[in-house]
Amino acid sequence: MPTIVITTIGTLGDHLPYVELGKYLQRRGHQVRMAINEAMMPLAIRAGLATVLCGVRMGEQEAQQNARDWNHWDSSLYQAQILGWQTYLKRETPLAFKQLLEACVDADLLICGYQRQSLGALIGQKTGIAWIATSLMPAIHNYLSETNLVTQAFERTLNEIAEELGLQPRWEIPKNHAILASSPHFSSVNPINAFYQQTGFWFYEEQDWQTWQADSALQHFLNRFHSPLLLSFSSLPLQDARSVLALHVRAAAKLGCGLLVQRGWADFNVSLLPDDCDPDAVFFTDFIPHDWLFSRISAIIHHGGIGTLARAIRNNCPMLVEPYGNDQFFNAKQVLVHEIGAVAHPQKVTVEGLVRLLTQKVLTESCRHNVRQLGEKIRAENGLERASQFIEAVHERHEKHER
């Protein structure tokens, strides 16, 4: 069986689906090697996957130090953010290229996440290895054109890096080697990106989640507040977590709801609670298996990350999305298209606005009906199986060509 290298970069949501893909491929008999940064290695190691270092460290602490880079509402930061990412590319890409090149020495196939597709093109050009372009983000493949200031700036930087590495700046994606790990029931790809094969979402799982049980404190909270709201921004760092928390605590209080709060990379914690709230009506927690949790809440308030959103749909959970940047804006739009929740501007919404949206758009029978209908379609898919079959077919075609 072939040796497959999987590489990705970003936050937790950019890694967990690829760890699950690695586990799935390994169970099918393949040798899998995860080329990821140091902060994400424990995820792969815990899953029983081989790991090699690739790229600079990017974990919770690093994200929190640069929280403004995740906030795309402030146009005054736009140019500074572009310059910051160009500087990051110049520092990170040559290092990651060298490390990934070593990881692929005896490999048969390279699978690259969206932010690693430029490396896939360079490694493929350098070694001739077959590589597959993948993406978790349906937003990227719905734009009719990616010609904008950001992509132009990044492409100029990548061209310079390629030339410094002695390679041609060619960034073409192999047209029959591309996977979009999203459901066509959530969104379709535009004609320009029609060569991406939609497999359905890749859901990360851990074996002990099936038997997970709440501790006595959480169970007591759930007994007191039946079907509370959940506030979870996952691995999104925030510049002002105190104000964000206060807004949602006060809205939940007006609704007479309990509020479960996942700490996440925003580092929500009891010390940030406003003085005018009932601390017993708010419960802070680290990670709880989402399948268990989402079946016990009335709705989730989140940032619009595709992983959280897809898991909520799969569990018939209505949602309020407060997007901050990147693909979160498109994902929020799709929530409105499917009428499975509501969307709020995170820096403009008020307590009264949150209460109104939740009451009129989210905590309604029609919203619950719509998300159940979409959830049924999502649950019928097996994205990891379809992706694995596609990956194996690519390898077989490449082997035949090489002969």
SS3 238: coil
Average pLDDT over residues 101-118: 96
Q: Is the per-residue pLDDT at 177 higher than 50?
A: yes
**Whether domain 209-379 has CATH 1.10.1200.10:** no
Q: Is the per-residue pLDDT at 144 higher than 50?
A: no
pLDDT tens digits for range 343-376: 999 999 999 999 999 999 999 999 999 999 999 9
**pTM for the structure as a whole:** 0.95
Query: Which pLDDT value is given to residue 146?
Result: 47
Query: Which pLDDT value is given to residue 402?
Result: 64
More confident call, 354 vs 174: 354
Question: Residue 343 is encoded by which pair of tokens?
Answer: 């969307």
Extents of the domains making up the chain = 3-201+382-402, 209-379
Residues 4, 108 contacting (CB under 8 angstroms): yes
Task: Give the Cα separation of 395 and 174 in Å (integer).
Answer: 13
SS3 140: helix
Q: 260: pLDDT confidence band, cut at 50, 70 and 90?
A: very high
% pLDDT > 70, the chain: 97
Instruction: Specify the range with the lowest mean pLDDT, choosing from 39-53, 74-88, 121-135.
Output: 74-88
- 196 phi and psi angles, rounded to 5 deg: -75, 130
- Do domains 3-201+382-402 and 209-379 share one topology? The answer is yes
Average pLDDT over residues 36-61: 97
Residues 241, 272 contacting (CB under 8 angstroms): yes
Q: Is the per-residue pLDDT at 145 higher than 80?
A: no
How open is the CA angle 140-379-33, to the nearest 5 degrees? 60
What does CATH list as the number for 3-201+382-402? 3.40.50.2000
- 354 phi and psi angles, rounded to 5 deg: -65, -45
Strands 130-135 and 109-112: parallel
Average pLDDT over residues 79-83: 83
- 112 phi and psi angles, rounded to 5 deg: -115, 130
Q: 403: pLDDT confidence band, cut at 50, 70 and 90?
A: low
Those residues with Cβ within 8 angstroms of residue 118's Cβ, 6 or more apart along the chain or in another chain:
93, 158, 171
Strand partners, 157: none
Residues 369, 310 contacting (CB under 8 angstroms): no
pLDDT tens digits for range 209-253: 989 999 999 999 999 999 999 999 999 999 999 999 999 999 999
Q: What is the pLDDT of the chain when averaged over all its residues?
A: 94
